[in-house]
Amino acid sequence: MLSGELATLLSGRYVELKVYPLSFVEFFSALGGDKATVFQRYLEFGGFPYATEIPDELTYRDYISGIVNTVLIKDVLQRKQRSDATLVEQLAKYLTDSSGSLVTIKKIADTLTSMGQKTTSDTVSTYLSGFQEAYLFFRADRYDIAGKKYLSINSKYYPVDQSLRKVLLGNKRPNFGHRLEGVVYLELLRRGYQVFIGNIGEFKIDFVAQKNGVTEYYQVSLTVEDDRTYQREVRPFQSIQDNYRKILLTMDNGRYNQEGIEQLNIIDWLLAR
C-alpha cells in the first residue's frame, strides 16, 4: 500500500513504522574496513540492503532498476490512474538531478515542457504526490526562522537513496555537495526529526531539524578549508538569534567549536549514533 492508503483502508487500526534504506552505521557495520572508503561506496551504491553484498556494478544497477521501475509503474502510474510512463521517468530524473535545489511545481512543469515532455502543473502535482506516497522522494519545505512560520512556496526534493542517481542519470557527473545534503537529510529523518529548509533574511540554512520541542540547524559543505568558504557557510548561523545547536558538516577532518558553531566531519557524525 501507498502511505496515503493506510488511514483509508485500515481505519486507524495500525501502527506505521517507517523503514528507510540502510543508514551508514548499518552499511559500515556490514562491510567494515576503512570508513572513508566505505563511505565513498555508500555514496555510489546507496543503502538498499543488497548494496552490502554487491558482486559487481552491473548486477547492482539491474537490482536498483527493478526497484525503481516497480515503484514508478506499479505504485505510481497504476494508483494514480495515469499512463504516461515516459513523463513519470523524466520527472523522476529531473527531481534526482535537481536534488538540493529549490523548485516549484510550475517550474518543474515548465522545464519538462521545454525539454519536449509537455505537461501541466496539475499532472506534475499528481505524480509528485505519488512519488512521496511511495517513499521514492521526500519533500523538504521551507521554514522562516525569524518569523517562526512555515512557507509553502518552493521546496526541495530528495531521493530515498543515492543509488537512484546511478539508475536514472547514468554516469552524469554529480554535484557532490548535493549528494552529501541528501545523505544528511535522510539521516535526520531516521533520527526522528522533522526537517525543513531554513530561511533567515537573505540567508539560507540547509536544514532546520525539529524534535520534541528542540531545534538544531545544519549546514552541509564538501569542504571549508578555504576561509572565504567557511565564512560563507557560517554567516547564516550568525544571523540566528536563538541558542539552539548550529552544526556545520563537512568532509574535512577534525572537530571544532567556534563561537557556538560546531564543525564536524560528516562521516564521524553519521557514525555517532
Whole-angstrom Cα distance, residue 253 to residue 72? 40
pLDDT at 152: 75
What's CA 78's distance to the chain center, in Å? Answer: 25
- Asked if 72 and 164 touch (Cβ cutoff 8 Å), the reply is no
Give the contacts of 19 (CB within 8 A, at least 6 positions apart).
none
pLDDT at 227: 93
3: three-class secondary structure by DSSP? helix
- List the domain boundaries for the chain: 3-271
- Asked if 200 and 188 touch (Cβ cutoff 8 Å), the reply is no
- Asked if 200 and 236 touch (Cβ cutoff 8 Å), the reply is yes
Q: Sheet harboring 245-250: ordered strands across? A: 149-159, 137-144, 194-200, 203-211, 214-220, 245-250, 261-265, 256-258
pLDDT in tens, 219-231: 999 999 999 999 9
pLDDT in tens, 189-216: 999 999 999 999 899 999 999 999 999 9
pLDDT at 82: 62
pLDDT in tens, 115-144: 988 999 999 998 898 899 888 999 999 999
Whole-angstrom Cα distance, residue 264 to residue 255? 5
pLDDT at 11: 66
pLDDT at 15: 76
Cell readout for 60 is 547492482
Cell readout for 75 is 505504485
Cell readout for 151 is 512557507
pLDDT in tens, 51-93: 888 778 888 888 888 888 888 777 787 776 666 888 888 999 9
Give the contacts of 76 (CB within 8 A, at least 6 positions apart).
82, 88, 127, 130, 131, 134, 136
Whole-angstrom Cα distance, residue 156 to residue 103? 6
What stretches of 145-271 adopt beta strand conformation (E)?
149-159, 194-200, 203-211, 214-220, 245-250, 256-258, 261-265
- Written as one letter, the residue type at 196 is F
pLDDT at 148: 85
pLDDT at 1: 58
- What pairs with residue 196 in β-bridges? 208
Mean local confidence (pLDDT), 248-264: 94
pLDDT at 5: 64
Q: What b/e string do you get for 224-262 counting C-beta neighbours within 10 Å, with b at 16 or more?
A: beeeeebeebbebbeebeeeeebbbbbbbeeeeeeeebb
